[in-house]
Homo-oligomer: A and B are copies of this chain.
């Protein structure tokens, strides 16, 4: 635990099926008058969810505009489009309905509404956000955890890079989480979500800590919970209990709780952003599932007992020999991903040996940066080694 740190997680969590029809009331209690609803493609419309939300807003006299067509790996173009609607219509509250893409789009709109410079500046860390429009979320997929997090990742289509910023200003004020809305999430997306949720706590867990660190036990609790609920949800998509667990895990895996009091970095996320940025057919969760085991095999030597403990707590590995237990922990994780029908290699998702240079170039920003990691900084050589070992 660090000697000094700041922590907050202010988002109000309305969990279950009772709250969706209350969204108008909740927004009214936040003094919202005119809302920008942010949605993805058409599923929110087709399922009737948008109509239900609009009805609830209308009953409280809350006006709205709609920004639609947000895709996975959301773009600055859509942020711009949203900003124009916000400015033209005196929007005072943002209401993304969906998952990470729509929430992050809303977050980027929220801070840029108060920032006069280029909309990419804040994501590129050229400017700090000073103020943000308030955000409320209706969550429809358990994955990114953006609903309780302070982070926002946007893709630059010009050069295929993703960039992100963290600011407590963009933590949503509230989120409505109705697990039954996720029944219709298909097997692939469910699997990617499971990986993404796990990874937010795994990367925090593998950021160095001391003995008896509370954050690490919280992280293991979330990882174990995701693992057990995930496999049920994958095979029984309408199982309320496991969908509910995944949804809560999604939020608590990325709000800072599983790293409370300690520093953390997300090296595997850095590698993955280059991957899915370059190959848009590779989902973020899929990329993480392929990359993490290779990262783990490379870094295992720096903290064998931590890997062993992951095996013991989450995968019921019984070996007393830590070296063996650590190896088994990674194997068990891969076997778990196998059960979710996730490919193990980059080759299976169409990445070729000759693509590695490009990926290393993106992550290392043409050799100008290393990914800091307390175990061992990840330079071009290490990046290349990890990408290559995923190739298959």
Contact = CB atoms under 8 A, between A and B. Distances in A.
Nearest to A179: B3
Copies per complex?
2
Interface string A1-15: 111111111111111
A250 B224 CA distance: 24
B217 A225 contact: yes
Most buried by B among A214, A224, A249: A214
B248 A228 contact: no
Contacts of A248: 1, 214, 260-261
A8 B174 CA distance: 9
B8 A12 contact: yes
Contact of A16 (B4, B13, B17, B245): B4
A62 B348 CA distance: 64
B212 A1 contact: no
B5 A15 contact: yes
Interface residues of A, number: 41
A6 B8 CA distance: 18
Contact of A212 (B10, B14, B210, B225): B225
A222 interface: yes
Nearest to A240: B3
B225 A214 contact: yes
Nearest to A260: B248
Nearest to A216: B221
Interface in A204-224: 210, 212, 214, 217-218, 220-222, 224
Nearest to A242: B212
A291 interface: no
Given A221-B218, A241-B210, A8 B1 contact: no
A241 B1 contact: yes
A18 B1 contact: no
Most buried by B among A4, A11, A249: A4
Contact of A6 (B3, B9, B13): B13
A70 interface: no
6 tightest CB-CB pairs across the interface, nearest first?
Answer: A4-B16, A217-B221, A7-B13, A10-B10, A4-B18, A214-B225
